[in-house]
Amino acid sequence: MATTEAYRITERRRVTMTGAEATAEAMRQIHPDVVAAYPITPQTDIVMRFARFVADGVVQTEFVPVESEHSALSAVVGASAAGARAMTATSGPGFALMHEILYVAAGYRLPIVMPVANRALSGPINIHGDHSDTMGSRDAGWIHLYAENAQEAYDDLIQAVRIAEHPEVRVPVLVGQDGFIITHGMEIVEVLTDDEVRAFVGEYRPERYLLDVDHPMTVGALALQNSYFEVKRQLAEAVRRSARIIADVGEEFGRLTGRYYGLTEPYRMEDAELVIVAIGSTAGTAKDVIDELRGRGVKAGLVKVRVFRPFPARNLRDLLGRARAVAVLDRADSYAGLGGPLFAETKAALYGLPQAPVMTGYVYGLGGRDITPEMIAAVYDDLGQLAERARADHAAVAAEAALSVRYLGVRER
């Protein structure tokens, strides 16, 4: 078929595309058996592109255009349990509507892969990017990967299939990308060939599945006090175990593409004294700021958290243990908790280190508010002052900073 040929990629290409486009392209190349989805801004661009692939006969995927995100994930749970490689995609309120079924998918250990265009949650309604959606379900038992840019959104999705389906993991994986900033921002993306992607993800061969009618099984039995706890404990173990698999898959992907992935990505951390920890597209902005600060002799560094579940506590201890001051940037608030989710967990990870750095938290970018290089430079300034003050009385300054959360780029009056 002519149209099918037009879509096929037989040589690696560098193409200008948005994160949504790159994600849809990855989905085409992964070629899942079933995709069920409901449109929601800014994810819509992913599913409508995928629907076009279906309409043009480019993929043989069974596309189920459901009536809600709740049903999208419900259908994907059914399809995955039935023995299919199944995917959906969502964003913000749609992800929130899936909340109940996120736990079902994880509890049933179904290797579902789901791109999420990260978006703010109502009210008031806002369609732009922040991390309130996925952070709100951080304890549902899914593996969380977050992309920095369109290239990573593409690369992460392909790796997610291998991670989710690994026999020692079998946990659903979501791949977050900042709504609009990544989903709708144009970038140059290196796209692998169809054959390379197909070979990398391999064929899905479930051990047990509902459509194997000669070997009937009951999926989703009632688990009472005598068994529920064990199911959830085993899930926790699987997510913990996935850290090694994620690193292995990232290494293998690196050998194929030259782009290596780990749980965290340190940037100019060799001798860094002032460090920002961040997730997503903001990490890219921070890298530019760091390069400039380094030119002025500031020992600035960055730790990008790519994997939020399993939480890379050991990596963070290793990377941040030698820093003097650390700022953790959260694109989600926990409203008078002990800082945003990334700040709270990073602090927890470093607890008990004899030489823990002074740490402080910032909430920024809610509802898609811009974060500028100037704001990030200001954070490094703050860190410099914090480190100076800590010279005099480390314990007192560290204790105060650990409880302080500042709002970056918000009108304070």
Partner 1 sequence: MPTLKELARRPNPLTGGHSACAGCGFPQAVRLVLMSIEEPVVVAGATGCMEVTTTTYPNTAWTVPFIHNAFENAAATISGVEAAYRALRRQGKIDREIRFVAFGGDGGTYDIGLQSLSGAVERGHRFLYVCYDNQAYMNTGIQRSSATPYGASTTTSPAGEAVPGKLQRRKDLTAILAAHGIPYVAQSTIAHWQDLTRKVRRAMEVDGPAFINVLAPCRLGWGTDPAMTVRMAELAAETCAWPLFEVDHGQWHVTYVPKQKLPVEEYLRPQERFRHVFQDKSGQLLAAIQRDVDEQWEALLAKAGQAVDGKAASRA
The CA distance from 364 to 375, in Å, is 10
If one asks whether residue 285 binds partner 1 (CB under 8 A), the answer comes out as no
The CA distance from 32 to 226, in Å, is 36
If one asks whether residue 78 binds partner 1 (CB under 8 A), the answer comes out as yes
Identify which of residues 224 and 395 has a Cβ nearer to partner 1 in the complex.
224
Residue type, position 74, single letter? S
If one asks whether residue 79 binds partner 1 (CB under 8 A), the answer comes out as yes
The nearest distance, CB 95 to partner 1, in angstroms, is 16
If one asks whether residue 65 binds partner 1 (CB under 8 A), the answer comes out as yes
Task: Report the residue from 33, 194, 196, 273 that binds partner 1 according to the rule CB under 8 A.
Answer: 33
The CA distance from 163 to 200, in Å, is 11
Task: List all residues 6 or more positions away from 232 whose beta carbon is below 8 Å from its beta carbon.
Answer: 107, 141
Task: Specify the residue for token string 């903001």.
Answer: 282
If one asks whether residue 75 binds partner 1 (CB under 8 A), the answer comes out as yes
Task: Report the residue from 68, 355, 372, 385 that binds partner 1 according to the rule CB under 8 A.
Answer: 68
Contact 58, 84 (CB under 8 A): no
Residues of this chain, 191-210, that bind partner 1 according to CB under 8 A: 210
Contact 110, 77 (CB under 8 A): yes
Beta bridge partners of 235: none
Contact 91, 41 (CB under 8 A): yes
If one asks whether residue 225 binds partner 1 (CB under 8 A), the answer comes out as no
The CA distance from 231 to 235, in Å, is 6
What single-letter DSSP state applies at residue 407? E
The nearest distance, CB 78 to partner 1, in angstroms, is 3
Residues of this chain, 88-107, that bind partner 1 according to CB under 8 A: 100-101, 104
The CA distance from 113 to 161, in Å, is 6
CA 203, 209, 210, 216 torsion-angle sign: positive
Residues of this chain, 304-343, that bind partner 1 according to CB under 8 A: none
Task: List all residues 6 or more positions away from 389 whose beta carbon is below 8 Å from its beta carbon.
Answer: 397
If one asks whether residue 227 binds partner 1 (CB under 8 A), the answer comes out as yes
If one asks whether residue 66 binds partner 1 (CB under 8 A), the answer comes out as yes
**Nearest CA to 29 among 146, 195, 271?**
195
If one asks whether residue 1 binds partner 1 (CB under 8 A), the answer comes out as no
Identify which of residues 2 and 213 has a Cβ nearer to partner 1 in the complex.
213
The nearest distance, CB 202 to partner 1, in angstroms, is 15
Task: List all residues 6 or more positions away from 71 whose beta carbon is below 8 Å from its beta carbon.
Answer: 36, 38
If one asks whether residue 367 binds partner 1 (CB under 8 A), the answer comes out as no
Task: Specify the residue for token string 């076009």.
Answer: 52
Site size for partner 1 (CB under 8 A) = 43
Identify which of residues 234 and 372 has a Cβ nearer to partner 1 in the complex.
234
If one asks whether residue 17 binds partner 1 (CB under 8 A), the answer comes out as no
The nearest distance, CB 230 to partner 1, in angstroms, is 10
Task: Report the residue from 26, 30, 46, 77 that binds partner 1 according to the rule CB under 8 A.
Answer: 77
Q: Which range touches partner 1 (CB under 8 A), out of 5-13, 54-62, 236-244, 285-293?
A: 54-62
If one asks whether residue 83 binds partner 1 (CB under 8 A), the answer comes out as yes
Environment class of 181 (CB within 10 Å of its CB; exposed 0-12, middle 13-18, buried 19+):
buried
Identify which of residues 224 and 336 has a Cβ nearer to partner 1 in the complex.
224
Cα 236–chain centre separation: 18
The nearest distance, CB 67 to partner 1, in angstroms, is 3
If one asks whether residue 223 binds partner 1 (CB under 8 A), the answer comes out as yes
Q: Which range touches partner 1 (CB under 8 A), out of 28-36, 151-159, 244-252, 401-409?
A: 28-36
If one asks whether residue 34 binds partner 1 (CB under 8 A), the answer comes out as yes
Q: Under the phi-then-psi rule, with left for phi > 0, alpha for psi from -120 to 50, and beta for the rest, what region is 300?
A: beta
Q: Which residues bind partner 1 (CB under 8 A)?
A: 33-34, 36, 60-62, 64-68, 70-71, 74-84, 86, 100-101, 104, 210-213, 216-224, 226-227
